């Protein structure tokens, strides 16, 4: 009888390959909340980005439109085996956000930015890496940015920032 219970216990923890390929198995709302909490805590405190202190700045809002742009780029990098801010077809961040309908009317200065990462297994791990990198950290702390969209696909992470002031 004990052997049967052990065998059943083992079956419960077998994960199909399709599920195992997704590095984050949390709800979208939990993913958003964890990222926004981590980013906005940093923005509220201010931090050192390389040799420069970045003072506190207002919190970011979540943007589903920027998330769509980030999703497309993360999936494209994973499927086409590259790691770059420029897509293999030559599309830039600006072209990708315009293609998903990011409305930038009313922005006095075109303000978009992007952080990418590959291989990290958690939100904390990818955020720690971005904070330690001067350029990525400055994106996180830029007062020009008002909103963010983030997507992870097969350990390819894309974080797109936008500067719209009206939504």
Q: 137 and 130 in contact (C-beta within 8 Å)?
A: yes
CA distance 146 to 166: 9
Phi, psi of 3 (to 5 degrees): -60, -40
Phi, psi (deg, nearest 5) at residue 98: -65, -40
Per-residue tokens: 78: 């994973």
DSSP letter (8 states) at residue 38? H
Question: Going by DSSP bridges, is the β-strand pair 147-153/61-62 parallel, antiparallel, or unpaired?
Answer: parallel
User: What pLDDT is attached to residue 167?
Assistant: 56
pLDDT at 104: 67
Give long-range contacts, CB 8 A cutoff, 24+ apart: 68-72. Answer: 68/100, 68/149, 69/93, 69/96, 69/97, 69/99, 69/100, 69/102, 69/149, 69/158, 69/160, 70/149, 70/150, 70/151, 70/158, 70/159, 70/160, 71/151, 71/153, 71/158, 72/96, 72/99, 72/100
Q: What is the pLDDT of residue 12?
A: 30
Chunked mean pLDDT (size 10), the chain, 167 residues = 37 32 66 96 97 96 96 98 96 94 69 96 97 97 96 98 78
For the stretch 41-79, pLDDT in tens is 999 999 999 999 999 999 999 999 999 999 999 999 999
């Amino acid at each position: 009888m004990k052997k049967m219970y052990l065998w059943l216990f083992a079956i419960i923890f077998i994960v199909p390959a399709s599920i195992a390929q997704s590095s984050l198995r949390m709800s979208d709302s939990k993913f958003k909340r964890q990222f926004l909490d981590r980013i906005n805590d940093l923005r509220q405190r201010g931090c050192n980005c390389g040799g420069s202190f970045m003072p506190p700045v207002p919190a970011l809002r979540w943007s589903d439109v920027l998330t769509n742009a980030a999703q497309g780029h993360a999936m494209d990098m994973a499927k086409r085996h590259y790691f770059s801010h420029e897509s293999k077809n030559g599309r830039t961040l600006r072209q990708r956000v315009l293609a998903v309908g990011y409305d930038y009317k009313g922005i006095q200065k075109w303000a978009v930015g992007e952080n990418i990462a590959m291989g990290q297994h958690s939100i904390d791990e990818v955020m720690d890496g971005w904070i330690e990198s001067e350029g990525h950290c400055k994106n996180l702390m830029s007062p020009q940015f008002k909103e963010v969209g983030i997507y992870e696909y097969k350990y390819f992470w894309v974080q797109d920032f936008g500067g719209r002031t009206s939504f």
